[in-house]
A and B are shown apart, each in its own frame.
Chain A
């Protein structure tokens, strides 16, 4: 009897400990803002429009940034076109075959429009698309890895450097110290575009400005989910005299905002992808100067719309300033006094007078 009690006690403790782990883990990555399962648009939608399959990148819905932006576009499309949808999410360190399997699952279950969020889906879409010629595929930030042209795939790319240029202008004009900072999540080609545009914008506004650059990780994707690392990197830049720090670090960005709060009055942070002023905490809000908007929602919505209109997008699509695919946020009103300057640069970029570099 005593033995049985002991055994069940061990089991109960293990159960509690692990259940605790599980929930705290999901709570952490979801930021607590994830809508309850029953509110998901994909659970309730019952229309007879197109069926959409949306495959998220690592981090999934609830990252308040990249993936959430895709969901916003999905939701709009579902409501407007009476569509139905299914969602899938990449796990950290999953096999290439798991991504492929996710896409095939969508197609086999009747999805006619499938979107992979993130360039990591480029290879798997390239393998799956030829097997489903009637299904339309889109890859956010994607590219075609081989020379065979896929007629049913659209690569939805963004001119991140153009949006970053504009927030670079804002940073330089708001800076009193003459030094500004940039924090990248991972030192890859995509994030280097943000750095290049930001630096170019800042130099255009103030040629003698100094830009401190730091990346959280060289290649480990953890750099996009590491608020402590983001805070350390940003604090280092504030300590070096920067008074505005722009982050392109996904989920690590909240640490950058915290660093700005700790650095005190007159220190700013700039958000990325979504309008992060809207999701920031009350303490962070007074420090969020603006956000560089990357309209993944627009691209997602546009792609579904094109399929719904029987004019499915294919090949490379660029969402730049002209197409309103990138931009800057004005929430909080902190950049209202320099908005005309920023918009002046915007017009010059759109007209082609200013060419923004894509590599630092």
Chain B
């Protein structure tokens, strides 16, 4: 019995291991194919990150992880929320505008801005949820369209009402009293670990508790695995869809806040886009599990941060890292399916071996 359990754990780790091996292999082949040295690449990538990069990796991990949890909430219930990108864009813009307007002072300003970000993210995602339940519009289509609308709308608003400076435009800069900086682990020039990164930890713990310890979490997982079974046991699927979308969007609203209050101070050129798509990739990589996604987020943040060092000593373009990330996601999806089938077959064989033995014993 123990050996079976051990084998099960081994197999759970097998899929990510295969995925990583495949992505390393593919990256190596691509680099070799364009005539560069894979050895240089890997030694640069896995060199010890400088203090500055360590700080960046932590900050990026927090933001990517929050986006991944936002995606996972939808995935667990069978909803494909592609709209995280637009949701956190709307939320970041709204929070930056409110905080910059300085209606409130100090931490009250920050707290209300966070609530606004969550509300705006939830509302933007809720549109897709309501369209799905009342009109049957696929959330995949509607969230993609909402992304495009968000970019255009925010662009228009910031152009009309923002502060124009040089060739760029941004929302009003948040007063220093309402910034939440963080702590400085190394020299000041190496940057700060943003204090609001703690939001990612809260989101991760909250996600685990919600899924495993609450009735809502059970309903969510049940709906994800079988709509009809969930309906039969008294879950209202329409209500679940709207709530899950809004929850996903609300979490998405938090994604960029650590950077906003820790460093940027306004929505403008320093806004970091694409985190929503990274989050979806990391959710796939981590199989929507709180710890799995943490691993995925660290890996992605590490690869992105380290890629800048490729400029020195290698002739490999930093963009190659995107190939590594892409292959890792694809390979993990394939590997899980392969391992799952393998395990089913193995279990079947174990049962087949045991059953005749048992019948013989009773005979």
Contacts and interface: CB of A to CB of B under 8 A. Distances in A.
Interface in A94-143: 94-98, 100-102, 104-105, 109, 119-120, 122-123, 131, 141-143
A131 B311 contact: no
Interface in B134-179: 148, 151-152, 154-156, 158-159, 164-169
B167 A190 contact: yes
Main secondary structure, interface of A, reads helix
Contacts of B317: 26, 89
Given A95-B272, A220-B155, A86 B165 contact: no
Contacts of B338: 6-7, 10
B103 interface: no
A22 interface: yes
A306 interface: no
Given A101-B308, A219-B151, A141 B167 contact: yes
A86 B338 CA distance: 44
Contacts of B167: 119, 141-143, 188-190
A11 B169 CA distance: 46
A278 interface: no
Q: B164, B272, B342 — which one has the most chain A CB atoms within 10 A of its CB?
A: B272
A88 interface: yes
A89 B318 CA distance: 8
Contact of A188 (B30, B35, B159): B159
A37 B273 contact: no
A64 to B, nearest CB: 18
A96 B272 contact: yes
A109 to B, nearest CB: 6
Contact of B52 (A19, A101, A145, A155): A101
B165 A145 contact: yes
A108 B275 CA distance: 29
A10 B259 contact: no
Interface string A79-90: 000000011110
B191 A97 contact: yes
Contacts of A347: none
Nearest to B190: A104
B228 interface: no
Given A86-B312, A92-B274, A123-B270, A26 B319 contact: yes
Interface string A17-43: 111011100100000000001000001
A88 B155 contact: no
B304 interface: yes
A18 B269 contact: no
A144 B165 CA distance: 9
A143 B320 CA distance: 32
B166 A104 contact: no
A187 interface: yes
Contact of A95 (B36, B60, B158, B168): B60
Contacts of B25: 11, 15
B308 A98 contact: yes
A219 B158 contact: yes
Contact of B168 (A3, A43, A143, A155): A143
B151 A217 contact: yes
Contact of A96 (B168, B263, B312, B318): B263
A14 B269 contact: no
A6 B335 CA distance: 12
Given A104-B52, A122-B166, A141-B167, A19 B33 contact: yes
Interface in B244-263: 259, 263
Interface string A201-233: 000000000000000011110000000000000
Given A122-B269, A189-B169, A96 B264 contact: yes
B56 A43 contact: no
Contact of A187 (B56, B155, B272): B155
A323 interface: no
A93 interface: yes
B323 interface: yes
Interface in B290-338: 304-305, 307-309, 311-312, 315, 317-320, 322-323, 326-327, 330-331, 334, 338
Contacts of B60: 95, 97
Interface in B336-352: 338, 342
A354 B59 CA distance: 51
A102 B330 CA distance: 29
A350 interface: no
Given A187-B155, A188-B159, A217-B151, A98 B311 contact: no
B112 interface: no
Contact of B166 (A17, A87, A92, A119): A119
Contacts of B189: 104, 131
A91 interface: yes
B29 interface: yes
A14 B331 contact: yes
A187 B159 contact: yes
B357 to A, nearest CB: 25
A37 B315 contact: yes
Contact of A189 (B152, B164, B259, B312): B164
B56 A97 contact: yes
A6 B18 CA distance: 14
Contacts of B263: 96-97
Interface string B73-111: 000000000000000000000000000000000000000
A123 B305 CA distance: 19
A303 B342 CA distance: 63
B330 A18 contact: yes
Interface string B183-211: 00000010100000000000000000000
Nearest to A189: B167
Nearest to B271: A96
In the complex, the 10 A-B pairs of residues with the closest C-beta atoms, listed nearest first: A219-B155, A143-B166, A93-B274, A218-B155, A96-B270, A190-B167, A93-B273, A218-B152, A119-B167, A220-B151
Given A145-B165, A219-B151, A219-B155, 4 more contacts: A7-B338, A37-B35, A93-B274, A96-B263
Interface of B: 22, 25-26, 29-30, 33-36, 52-53, 56, 59-60, 148, 151-152, 154-156, 158-159, 164-169, 189, 191, 259, 263-264, 269-270, 272-275, 304-305, 307-309, 311-312, 315, 317-320, 322-323, 326-327, 330-331, 334, 338, 342
7 contacts: A22-B323, A23-B30, A91-B307, A96-B263, A102-B311, A143-B167, A218-B152
